[in-house]
Amino acid sequence: MSHLNGKIAVVTGGNSGIGYSSAKKLKADGATVIITGRSAEKVQNAAAELGVKGIVADVLDLSAIANAVDQIKNEYGNIDILFVNAGVFSPAPIGQITEELYENQMGINFKGAVFTIEKFLPIINDGASIINLSSINAYTGMPNTAIYAASKAAMNSYTRTAATELAPRKIRVNAVNPGPVHTPIFGKTGMPEEQLNGFAQAVQNRVPLKRFGQPEDIAELVSFLASDKASFITGSEYNIDGGINVNPLLVG
């Protein structure tokens, strides 16, 4: 398939998980892909594996985002696809939410997304596609996720407004809300492995399709939304979650 031929795509947090798989898929579908991430070593390794350009840019650092934009502008010109994917998951119960956790979680997931778009906007072509990686947590009351969920709810709200503001330039802005996806994100929480396994099993049991999503499942949707096949879709959000968001309250 080559429905993204000639398009330039940027994937933030492209060295791991959903970003990595999406970068691979966008490239396979014909796009020229640039990934960004916060760890030089991880970005370099992933870029080499994927055969794409890698740029180090921590989304907490606005000047690093601006430098990445300058570099991309100089090497590639304008871009057609911006996948705003970088994010972290830092669970904590209410009563134990520190200022540091709040700043980091909101700073990466929401502020980082907002300023990624702010900085890239001058080099985003008319008719481009921006895809914001949110979560079904934006709509659920899953314990310990108050700040994570709020960061994603903010992202969905932002997406709707951005879609209307950027519509005159035919720039489409959509959000993707995954359910549980098998990626390294959970291991980065510092939870012991046993607890992680228990959590994974409990979550999977709640998914009507009885499995975790794979990053490739999300990449398929990202590639579609990035393409001209989705040219009438903007301001929308897509749950991609094995049905967990519509799980019945009572079973049987």
Catalytic residue numbers, as ranges: 148
Query: Between residues 91 and 180, which has the closer beta carbon with respect to ligand NAP?
Result: 180
Residue with tokens 């998980």: 17
Cβ at position 184, least distance to ligand NAP in Å: 4
User: Of 8, 37, 110, 149, which lies in the binding site for ligand NAP, with binding defined by CB under 6 A?
Assistant: 37
What are all long-range contacts of 30-35, with beta carbons under 8 Å and residues at least 24 apart?
30/1, 30/2, 30/3, 30/4, 30/5, 30/6, 31/4, 31/5, 31/7, 31/80, 31/81, 31/226, 32/7, 32/8, 32/76, 33/9, 34/8, 34/9, 34/10, 34/72, 34/76, 34/79, 35/10, 35/11
183 binds ligand NAP (CB under 6 A): yes
Mark the segment that binds ligand NAP (CB under 6 A) among 3-11, 35-43, 71-79, 227-235: 35-43
Cβ at position 145, least distance to ligand NAP in Å: 10
39 binds ligand NAP (CB under 6 A): yes
89 binds ligand NAP (CB under 6 A): yes
200 binds ligand NAP (CB under 6 A): no
Nearest alpha carbon to residue 10 among 30, 31, 40: 31
Cβ at position 118, least distance to ligand NAP in Å: 15
Nearest alpha carbon to residue 11 among 215, 239, 189: 215
62 binds ligand NAP (CB under 6 A): no
Q: Tell me how crowded residue 217 is: count the other CB atoms within 10 A of its CB.
A: 19
Q: Which residues in 115-134 contact ligand NAP (CB under 6 A)? A: 133
HSE-CB of 191 using CA atoms within 13 angstroms: 18
User: Of 54, 91, 178, 242, which lies in the binding site for ligand NAP, with binding defined by CB under 6 A?
Assistant: 178
**Residue ranges binding ligand NAP (CB under 6 A):** 13, 15-19, 37-39, 42, 58-60, 85-89, 108, 112, 133, 135, 178, 180-181, 183-185, 188
